[in-house]
Structure 1
Amino acid sequence: MATEPIGYDRLIKTYRLPARPLARFALIDSSVNGRQTTSLGDVELMRFESRYRPSHTLTGDLQFALRYEGINLEVLALLFAGTGRVELDAWLAAQPESRFARRAGYLYEWLTGNELSAAAPPKAAYVPALDEKLQFGFAGGAKNAKFRVIDNLPGNRQFCPLVRKTDFLQAMARKDLKRRTQETLARYDRDLLRRAAAFLYLKETHSSFEVEREKPNPDRARRFADLLREAESGIPLSESRLAELQNAVVDARFHEFSYRRQQNWIGEDLGYRKKIDFIPARPENVSELMNGLAEFAETLRAKPESLDSVVAAASLAFGFVFIHPFMDGNGRLHRYLIHEVLSSSGFTPKGIVLPVSAVILANLDRYVRALERFSKPLLARTTYDPDAPKVPATGNDALYFRFFDATEQASFLYWALERTVEHDLEEEIAFLLGFDAARARLGGLLDWPAHSLDLFIRLVNQNGGLLSRTKRETFFSWMTDDEVRRCEAIVVEAFGASKNPDDAH
């Protein structure tokens, strides 16, 4: 079986580009009839028979890549930084109507800021820069008259993650989780939803801290819950605004008032050595990257229907945590930003927060894998010694944070939101309904000491319908056996709980 790399893979090898490993490879395979696409773990392999073979030239592989692989801004930025001007001018002069030549010419000027001599015919039909059969694009982009190209790239020159339209993501988009969320909430009355909202804000707050193995004090918990309620405020994500948000989620001793000016690192200090898991962007690049991210956020806010809401939230929130603009609080702000984008796009109804962090907390391995799909390949090319902080890190160039593939992160967020909308949201509301029903019936049955009724309901429900011996001796020794049995039965009926005790009374 003879194989030959083509497209982006061959461009990387031919021009020795310092690109990260591709998520999608293309090659000519003599054993294939037509074309086949298979998944090999984290990699998508596209195999083509020999008639698809492009010419072994910059423009040949570039045309193939744009046609079948989509846009890879990281590879194109690295390629065009050193070559391409002469080849693209010649391509456009020879084939001025070619939609691939025009798209390549537009991307060259967009990425480099340098102008090509050639242009498209003035009456050529406009074509989108990004093929939306392959990747998620931004609807209603500006028109470029020189190349007759519509700029539907979802970001800007300083920050533009791209997401591939995998089978999974297309299936998720068709499910219309936004509509399902609204339909679920429409089944309940406003008073219940107000109580559910308060409960969900509290749950999301504690879950977000627990993801980082922290237990917030009441003041920090309140400030983060207040922050979540502000997610729909529409305040632009300026440096001062983000610093204000950072101050709201960390201890006052670690407040920051601007983006960091030193290199940070993620990992463990084992005493005898530092175990590094990730090196974020260099400090001199942070402001530029964050300005691009803020511009991306404002574009989304101005035209929320122009990009898939979950793709937008993943691109912005994970982009933020990868850049890591502060020394502390980045993880909690990253999860807050998920809610801000979902709220500003109308995905989440006003006054409600979806408990995404609870799903993350219950599936930390899956969340970490989504983070590591970005961090591990970058760490492999990065050098930094935390014990010599004045020596700059190398390999963590701004390019890799500016133009990353956010497909895996968008897939994780869609998966987490589906779990939240289809399961957790209704379970949380059902819990409140059960709690209300149990409280109403038990309140008139006994004369309960202060706060003991709510505690009884929680303990019985958490223990599968029975009050454990330990909890009874500690809190409810005043109850008779008959009273305990009757009250347990009421809780079971209210919640539909099944008896599965950890320790019978």
Structure 2
Amino acid sequence: MKPVGYAYLNLHYDLRLPKLGVEVYQDPNAEKEQLIQYGGSKRKVIPGHLKYDDNPYSQMHAAIKNQGIRLHFFAAIYKKINVTEFTAFILDKPTSQYNRVLWFLYEWLTGQKLDIPDLKSSNYIKLFEDEFYYTLGNGQKDKRTRVINNALGTPDFCPTIRKTTEISELDKADVYKTAFAKMQRIGEQLSVDVIGRSVNYLYTKETKSSTEIEREKPNRQRMQRFLNAIKNVGLYELNKHSLINVQNQIVDEKFKAIDYRESEIYVGTTIQRFGNRDEDVHYVGAKQEHVASMMNGLFKLHENLMIDGSVPPLFHATLISFGEVYIHPFDDGNGRIHRYLIHDVMKHREPEHKFIIPISAAILKNQQKYDQVLETISVPIMAMLDYELDNSNRIVINNDIDYMYRFPDYTEHVKFVYEMMDTAISDDLLKEVCLLTVFDCLKKFINENADLPNNKIDMVLSIIIQNGGEVSKRKRQELESLLESQILNELEELATHLIEEIKNKFEIDVVAVMNEET
């Protein structure tokens, strides 16, 4: 079998790009196309009768036809291409659809014009096919090539999301409607007050969880500042100034920024072994010289998606938040800003929603899955990056693979974010609402049958709920000094009924939730 498309181009130009999840090969004896397992990856095997010339330009056609546009490949290829030969190839058939796409991509990605006259006539074609990619609904027409540029971003930063079967199902989901629908099943006991108090608790939980992901124990003042930032998402336009302001709120005084970082940065762990100290480098951020342009591209992407409005809000939030964390624009706080941005973008897109869904808490419980999705980008980058640590453990980057940072595929990231949102709704939002609903029902019963101050009511209910609806013999004497024996018995009966009802309806153990929080 011989390589076709991107597999061919990878070898021809010695790009050393990690292979795609599915590589295309041609079998001269095959009569029909088939997908085969090839170790841990897959191969799309195309039949021998299909004609692809043994030259890189025809193979570019094959690449787009079989696997769509992979921007990082073309950005790498155009750094090595023979421009004279490439120009001649385009001029041979300048109105060909694939030639026009290649022509447009070259000028868009490199900022350089080919020696080709503008097309005077021809129907406009879309750069990305809507059937296979999420695109801008209203792309920009390039009169020179007569290509409609419907890419989500710019040459500075342009991620893609492929329309796989699974992703196409997700874009119909509304996480807030899902959350409301699940809460409504509680019934008439659900109140606006319960939802409001749940939200306040979840703001605090989101703040704490986002910090714990970074394995940090910040002081109370910084936790409060981050809590305030989370509560005020969507209040300011998303730009460099507002992002630096958030960074300054959530990091230690010595790490506060007035601009993007001025040096290279990496994420790693220190390994101590037999008196030696080594650094295990997990990920290296984009080269410092490219950070400003990539962040400008990130903000332009955000603007495009806000104005266009056709990409689902949670897809939009995924693109912006993960874009920031891979670029790593600051010396500290990048991870917390990344998770803050999910909420900020969602609030920009859907300002009518009055509560957040605590995704950081869900991520904290699914750290391995979080690491796996991060590695879909970080592992290929680290495989290609030529770097070293100097005597002060500062990182030195010896090659430039900016295209790996500028043109990522975030398809897997969208799946992950939806999964974590769904988990957060079931494991955190719904649990808290159920706990408060039980608490309020029991509190109402006490208020109707006894005269106790709130602090005593809270103490009584904590004891009863933590013990599954009953009062232990050791505690009964104490509680009977506050409540009549008959009232206490009826309270136990009601508590047991409510706890069981919640368990049957939602498979939520209110007792476990209460014990976890206390």
Q: What TM-score do you get using the length of structure 2 for normalisation? A: 0.85
Aligned pair partner of 2:205 in 195, 203, 206: 203
Aligned pair partner of 1:354 in 354, 357, 360: 357
Aligned-partner residue type, residue 351 of structure 1: K
Distance 1:236 1:216, change over 3 A: same
The answer on whether the counterparts of 1:197 and 1:352 sit within 8 Å (CA) in structure 2 is yes
- Partner of residue 261, structure 1: 262
Q: Secondary structure at the match of 1:161?
A: coil
Q: Deviations over 1:143-196 (max 9, x none)?
A: 001111110111111111112222221221233546545656788654444333
The answer on whether the counterparts of 1:59 and 1:88 sit within 8 Å (CA) in structure 2 is yes
- Partner of residue 241, structure 1: 242
The answer on whether the counterparts of 1:96 and 1:120 sit within 8 Å (CA) in structure 2 is no
The answer on whether the counterparts of 1:468 and 1:501 sit within 8 Å (CA) in structure 2 is no
- Partner of residue 279, structure 2: 274
- Could you tell me which runs of 5 or more consecutive residues in structure 1 were left unpaired when the two chains were aligned: none
- Partner of residue 370, structure 2: 367
- Matched residues in 2 for 1:418 and 1:32: separation? 44
Higher mean alpha-carbon deviation, 271-280 vs 438-447, is at 438-447
Distance 1:351 1:177, change over 3 A: closer
- Partner of residue 214, structure 2: 212
Residue 392 of structure 1 and its aligned partner are, at CA, apart by 2.1
Distance 1:500 1:298, change over 3 A: closer
Q: Deviations over 1:3-34 (max 9, x none)?
A: 22111111011110142332332112457553
Aligned pair partner of 1:108 in 106, 109, 117: 106
Aligned-residue CA RMSD in angstroms?
Answer: 3.2
Distance 1:275 1:381, change over 3 A: same
The answer on whether the counterparts of 2:324 and 2:338 sit within 8 Å (CA) in structure 1 is yes
Higher mean alpha-carbon deviation, 176-185 vs 281-290, is at 176-185
Q: Deviations over 1:309-361 (max 9, x none)?
A: 23322221111111111121111100011111222222x74322111112111
The answer on whether the counterparts of 2:222 and 2:250 sit within 8 Å (CA) in structure 1 is yes
Aligned-partner residue type, residue 479 of structure 1: L
- Partner of residue 306, structure 1: 310
The answer on whether the counterparts of 1:18 and 1:78 sit within 8 Å (CA) in structure 2 is no
Aligned pair partner of 1:290 in 291, 295, 307: 295
Distance 1:115 1:154, change over 3 A: same
Distance 1:232 1:253, change over 3 A: same
Distance 1:468 1:211, change over 3 A: farther
- Partner of residue 506, structure 2: none
- Matched residues in 2 for 1:154 and 1:459: separation? 54
- Matched residues in 1 for 2:44 and 2:84: separation? 30
Aligned-partner residue type, residue 301 of structure 1: M
The answer as to 2:444 corresponding to 1:440 is yes
The answer as to 2:418 corresponding to 1:417 is no
Residue 394 of structure 1 and its aligned partner are, at CA, apart by 2.8
- Matched residues in 2 for 1:302 and 1:51: separation? 46
Q: Deviations over 1:391-429 (max 9, x none)?
A: 622346322211122222222112222334566544443
Aligned-partner residue type, residue 406 of structure 1: Y
- Could you tell me which runs of 5 or more consecutive residues in structure 2 were left unpaired when the two chains were aligned: 504-508
**Percent of pairs with identical residues:** 28
- Matched residues in 1 for 2:62 and 2:471: separation? 67
Q: Secondary structure at the match of 1:107?
A: helix
- Matched residues in 2 for 1:116 and 1:314: separation? 35
Distance 1:269 1:372, change over 3 A: same
Equivalent residues in 2 for 1:314-329, closer than 5 Å: 314-329=318-333
The answer on whether the counterparts of 2:159 and 2:409 sit within 8 Å (CA) in structure 1 is yes
Distance 1:59 1:288, change over 3 A: same
Aligned-partner residue type, residue 324 of structure 1: H
- Matched residues in 1 for 2:421 and 2:22: separation? 25
Equivalent residues in 2 for 1:451-470, closer than 5 Å: 451-454=455-458, 457-458=461-462, 461=465, 464-465=468-469
Higher mean alpha-carbon deviation, 20-29 vs 151-160, is at 20-29
- Partner of residue 123, structure 1: 121
Aligned-partner residue type, residue 224 of structure 2: R
- Matched residues in 2 for 1:193 and 1:350: separation? 12
